[in-house]
Structure 1
Amino acid sequence: MLNITARSELLRTIVETLNVVVEDARLDFGEDGLEVRVVDPSHVAMVQMGVDAAAFDNWEVEDTALGIELMKMKELLSLASSTDLVEMQYDDAVGQVNLNVGKIDRVIRPLDTANLSPPNVPGLDLPSSVTISGADLAQALRAARQVGDLVNLSLEPDSFSVHVSGDQDSVSVSYGKDEVLALDCESPVRSQFSLTYLLPMAKMMASTESVCLRFGENLPLKIEFNFDNDAGSVIYFLAPRVEGDL
């Protein structure tokens, strides 16, 4: 059984963040809140998300796993203003999800969750980290995308840098230790990532006060940020592009 009500803005953040990585997602509803883990088909990017039950206007839930086509949720949410409330009900006996926004009622058939198994969260020992405002990070990555797709992230004990080299042009954005919120780096590290995967998530982080990036020399990137007054949390894992990758 599932009977929840949420601001459309909250649901839009949830759906659009997951949609960076996948088109379909298994949403695990429990007594304390919502948990989701998804990985893209190429296993390059992964999202782990949690949202506290307190973030919702109404939360009447028995443990329920629903497979949802995210585009169908986005279609409905596109009709709602940021202040509209969205009601969502599911009854196992009926086997359909009922969604309501104002006068609009939409019924969707959930996907088979057997085909949407949550991935295992990688255990990573990442030696260095920087915490920066979401707006600063998003701006740096947008600037990098103007030149190329492969971005180099570099950390030194006293600085954090974003750099892209194109065929003729280049972009560099650097922040000193006193220009970021926190920096932990004992020795220089650098890793390269695809902006095709990174930039869409940066758009989701742009309005957050702080984003923590953890990485090492040619190691995966782990990005952590919160939303909705810290009621929601996101961890984004992205595999590096190492020399020799096509």
Structure 2
Amino acid sequence: MDTDTAETECPTLTAAVSVGRVQRFLDAIRTVNDEFQLEVTPDGLTGNVVNDSRTTMGSVRLDASACESYQATAGKITIQTSRLREVTRMTSNRDVMRLTLDGDSQTLNVEADGVECSLQMNESTQMSAVSELDEADHPSVCVLEGGELKRVMKAAGHVATEVDFRIEHTRERFVAEANGDSDRLVAPHEAADIEELLVGAVPVASTFNLGYLRQIRRPIHKRTEVTLALGTDSPLLVAFDIADGAGHVEYSIAPVVTTDDDEGDE
């Protein structure tokens, strides 16, 4: 009971971190939604975010080690990325941003390169559902470069509005397939051609809306290793590091599930 009470208290924070790392942290969040829940702990910051349709969830972590200095007490607040981005847009990525969160006044004071602002915070625990990110069944995992994943999404988008991702356990390969009204795209990736492939005991396949996938591709850099964890008719877990490994991003994207009635209508 005491733990739950502590988690809802407004945290305190005193930190100094490069504007570039703050920008990457915010970019990974705002691609899902502008408003997010900031979870502050002595070990670092985590931004939890859900889109309006609740089909995409994200958890973006920035460790204390990513900061030049960091001191905090635990708690959660709600904030909009747009409010912090007003400061990052007026400064250089190499500048240092100083963040001070006063738990009593619930005010976040931000300063970077002479630019200062004070943001009023709100306590919130409304996005606790984001903690369910790792609860889906993901028996198979594929790791590939961000640039290749973006190419697959772009090519599939020229053909259809949905894409099938599957991992074939007998042939040990990852396959992306898109089927439109007249066109079809099949993009197989053999185990030798990708960074890593962990194949489960059975084949897995799920269909995803390309609109949701395109939503999360912007913060993925071309050379970044991206982990795709797959199940059958299960959410897709997309994970990659930021801040030279001192930060981590995870997205969970709901699958398109075809019912027997849908198949009968066809």
What TM-score results when the alignment is normalised by the length of structure 1?
0.90
Aligned to 2:174: 160
Give the Cα–Cα distance (whole angstroms) in 2 for the partners of residues 110 and 208 of structure 1: 36
Question: Tell me, what secondary structure is at the counterpart of 1:90?
Answer: strand
Counterpart amino acid of residue 61 in structure 1: A
Alpha carbons of structure 1 residues 41 and 200: separation in structure 2 relative to 1, 3 Å: closer
Q: Aligned to 1:210, which of 225, 230, 239?
A: 225
Cα distance in structure 2, aligned partners of 1:18 and 1:101: 21
Q: Which stretch of structure 1 is more off in the superposition, 211-220 or 37-46?
A: 37-46
Structure 1 counterpart of 2:252: 237
Q: Following the alignment from structure 2 to structure 1, what is the Cα–Cα distance between the partners of residues 164 and 243?
A: 30
1:4-57 per-residue CA deviation (whole Å, 9 max, x = no partner) reads: 111111111111111122221121111111123332232211112322101011
Q: Which amino acid aligns with 2:166?
A: S
- Report the Cα distance in structure 2 between the residues aligned to 1:180 and 1:84, rounded to whole angstroms: 36
| Percent identity for Structure 1 against Structure 2 | 23
**2: CA distance between counterparts of 1:108 and 1:208?**
35
Cα distance in 1, alignment partners of residues 162 and 61 from structure 2: 29
The residue that corresponds to 1:28 in the other structure is 39
Aligned pairs, number: 245
Q: Matches of residues 104-183 of structure 1 in structure 2 within 5 Å?
A: 104-117=115-128, 119-122=130-133, 123-157=135-169, 158-183=172-197
Alignment-mate amino acid for residue 63 of structure 1 = A
> Is the 8 Å Cα contact of residues 12 and 77 (structure 1) preserved in structure 2?
yes
The change in CA–CA distance for 1:125 and 1:115 in structure 2 (over 3 A counts) is closer
| SS, match of residue 229 in structure 1 | helix
Distance 1:76 1:169 in 2: 46
Q: Tell me if the contact between 1:131 and 1:210 (Cα under 8 Å) persists in the aligned partners.
A: yes
Relative to 1, partners in 2 of residues 1:208 and 1:56: Cα closer, same or farther, differing over 3 Å? farther
Gaps of 5+ in 1: none
SS of structure 1 residue aligned to 2:217: helix
Partner SS for 2:40: strand
State the shift of 1:230 in Å.
1.2
What CA distance in whole angstroms lies between the structure 2 residues aligned with 1:170 and 1:206?
Answer: 27
**Cα distance, 1:129 vs structure 2:** 1.4
User: How far apart are 1:137 and its partner, in Å?
Assistant: 1.0
> Once the 2 structures are TM-superposed, how far is the Cα of residue 192 of structure 1 from its aligned partner?
0.5
Which letter does structure 2 place at the counterpart of 1:12? Q
Moved more, 199-208 or 215-224: 199-208
Query: Would the alpha carbon gap of residues 146 and 111 (structure 1) be closer, same or farther in structure 2, given more than 3 Å must change?
Result: farther
Letter paired with 2:26: V
Aligned-pair Cα RMSD in Å: 2.0
Deviations 1:144-201 (A, max 9, x none): 2233321111211322122222233333322111001111224432211012111232
Is the alpha carbon distance of 1:9 and 1:172 closer, same or farther for their aligned partners in structure 2, counting shifts above 3 Å? farther
The equivalent of 2:22 in structure 1 is: 11
Q: In the alignment, residue 191 of structure 2 is paired with which amino acid?
A: K
- 2:91 aligns with 80
* 2:58 maps to which of 40, 43, 47: 47
- Higher helix fraction (1 or 2): 2
- Which one has a bigger Cα radius of gyration? 2
Residues 84, 102 of structure 1: 8 Å contact kept: yes
Aligned amino acid, residue 193 of structure 1: F
> Please, which of 45, 59, 77 is the counterpart of residue 66 of structure 1?
77
